[in-house]
Amino acid sequence: MQRRNFLQKGLLAGGGVLMGANAMAAGNNKIEDPKSAEKTFNLDYAPHDGMFRNNGGEDFIDQIKYMYDQGFRSIEDNGLPGRPVEIQTKIGETLAKLGMRMGVFVVPKGGNSANSLAAGKQEYIDIFLDGCRQSVEMAKRVNAKWVTVVPGDYERHLPIGVQTGNVIDALKRGSEILEPHGITMVLEPLSDTPNLFLRYSDQTYEICRAVNSPSCKILFDIYHMQKNEGNIIRNIELTWSEIAYFQIGDNPGRKEPTTGEINYKNVFKYIYDKGYKGIMGMEHGNAKPGKEGEQALIKAYRESDSFR
């Protein structure tokens, strides 16, 4: 799958507003010193593995604890399927103890250039459906509610309508696996290469409406959509009913907000005012290296989140 290496609902499956640092569950889930944590954000931003390794340590569990201390209340982890089961379980236990949410991970072989769902080939569909079944088991370990799916590349010898129909059929079958478990696959239109079948928010909206399942919604990655179509707030408005998850990255550069051309304070305010209670995945790199770069990243989020 042509995806980035940054280790990674809202409307229908997002759950309620997260508990603040001073309202953690009692018993074994109690935080020893909640006053040590920074205040939370207006929206629920989710860092990933490696984003705070200089301040939090190399171990992902330690990084999660550091994220909590900085006011973050969710994570995402594209690389979760590649982690040993015992590490997946430990991540889930850590999140539960801290009262944090798990964002997306990528469905194993859930559609890529090697097994495009647009082709309609049974062998590719079987690989995708097996990835959905594996995702159910992984989601249980970390209490995940969202999984990322990219349908793969165009099958250029087929008409576009036939390709779209093939993708819809495959996603319907994947939804049948995920829906009983309350898991939503979020389809992500990407800008990585023109060969990718799924590239635009309206195209993804059309497919989600056709699949017609609470387990098939849009992952609106603001970085990719800025590159592919622009007009971010208007396109969010048009496709809002099918959006389950957002991801963040400024353009150009794919780094934190304030480092590129996107007015993230306005975008965040719009999403907040719409009543979104889901996760905002921080799927980008750090503009500056080291501890100072990580602190600058947090400062950029504080600034962009200061719309109230």
Query: In the chain, what are the domains?
Result: 34-304 (3.20.20.150)
> Which phi and psi (to 5°) does residue 242 adopt?
-110, 5
Cα-based distances in Å from 25 to 20, 34, 226, 281: 10, 11, 40, 25
State if pTM tops 0.75. Answer: yes
Q: What is the pLDDT along the chain (308 residues), one digit of tens a residue?
A: 434 333 333 333 333 333 333 333 333 333 445 556 899 999 999 999 999 999 999 999 999 999 999 999 999 999 999 999 999 999 999 999 999 999 999 999 877 777 899 999 999 999 999 999 999 999 999 999 999 999 999 999 999 999 999 999 999 999 999 999 999 999 999 999 999 999 999 999 999 999 999 999 999 999 999 999 999 999 999 999 999 999 999 999 999 999 999 999 999 999 999 999 999 999 999 999 999 999 999 999 999 999 99
Q: Which residues contact 176 (CB under 8 A, 6 or more apart)?
A: 213
